[in-house]
Amino acid sequence: MFKIGTLELKEKALLLAPMEDITDPSFRYICKHFGADLMYTEFISSDGLIRDGKKSVQKLDIFDYERPIGIQLYGHLIDAMVEATKIAEQAKPELIDINFGCPVRKIANRGAGAGMLNNIPLMIQMTEAIVKTTSLPVTVKTRLGWDAEHKNIVEIAERLQDVGIKALTIHGRTRAQMYKGEADWTLIGKVKNNSRMFIPIIGNGDITNAEEAKYAFDTWGVDAIMIGRAAVGRPWIFKEIKTYLETGEKMLPLTLPEKVDLAKQHFIRSLETKDGDRGIYEMRRHFSNYFKGLPHFREIRLKLLTSLDIEEINELLEKIRIQYSTF
């Protein structure tokens, strides 16, 4: 067991990474079912929250079954981030996470997300202001540094800890790498094994199966692992890893009928939690991922990804079940 502030998590916890346009309540429902120990909202713009922007406010929707959950905020202005923290607090998450890792140009170039890796004094000042604003545990998610010449996460981690964050997630890439190359866990390990550090360290980047997760825990000693892309289309990865860590056994992959059932569950939740046709639009990426690689799938896929008729979509899912019953 380890603690993020007052929040207790199991040893070797598995976290679902925040992912814009993916980790909405319907996807979180599915990941929770497969054992994700802690999840986050998609990142929320502090400016958007303050302006009462619909998209930002909607991302505050939290359901009791998905707890514990963190609300993730980003922004480049301290005042706006402090205000946004107060608004987010009202949604009663278990923690507030600050995004200092988003590499996307329009965010980072304005100084938000990974842009803060270019201005460490501001990063520290902002973090301190947020910690002082809320009684909730504050955590940070960031990268190794701005670029290969500035991999200063060891120093950043100490300074963030000094101003009161309760856990740190490190994605093993620099901002300059975006999502290219391989995640480098050696510096994540260095932060974890720094004798000055006492807060939990969450490792992130490129974990795609149970063996890799075990290797990362064993080699780098991190308290938790956060999984992003590998959970998309394969949310059972949390169960797969847990089964392997606990028993050494490899879980059998989900059968096609099980995938159809999962897709239907996910779809129901998506319709329940999204307005109008958004519940359909936002499932398209997931349908595509759940059924990736099926032979001669083009025709059904095309219909599945263009239909706006709930009944038709459900029929298509049943058609997949029948047509691929031997998979």
Which residue numbers are catalytic?
A: 102
The separation between the first and the last C-alpha atoms of the chain, rounded to the nearest angstrom, is 39
CA atoms within 13 A on the CB side of 38: 28
Question: Angle 278-290/310-323 helices, nearest 10 degrees?
Answer: 10
Least spacing, CB of residue 314 vs ligand FMN, in Å: 27
Structure tokens belonging to residue 141: 């998610």
Judged by CB under 6 A, which of 229, 278, 284, 321 binds ligand FMN?
Answer: 229
**Cβ proximity to ligand FMN, 199 vs 237, nearer residue:** 237
Answer for which of 2, 19, 83, 150 binds ligand FMN (CB under 6 A) is 19
Peptide bond into 137 cis (omega under 30): no
Closest by CA position to 168, among listed 151, 156, 184: 156
Using CA atoms, how far apart are residues 52 and 10, in angstroms rounded to an integer?
36
x/- map, 186-215, ligand FMN, by CB under 6 A: ------------------xxxx--------
CB 173 within 8 A of CB 145: no
Stretch that binds ligand FMN, among 121-129, 225-233, 267-275, 289-297 (CB under 6 A): 225-233
- The answer to whether 284 contacts ligand FMN (rule: CB under 6 A) is no
Site string for ligand FMN, 50-89 (x = CB under 6 A): ----------------------x-----------------
> Does residue 46 touch ligand FMN according to CB under 6 A?
no
Please select the residue that binds ligand FMN; options are 2, 3, 5, 20, rule is CB under 6 A.
20
Q: Which two tokens stand for residue 49?
A: 């929250």
Instruction: Give the amino acid at 59.
Output: K
Written as six digits, the tokens of 303 are 């219909």
State the residues that interact with ligand FMN by CB under 6 A: 17-20, 22, 42-43, 72, 99, 101-102, 141, 171, 204-207, 227-230
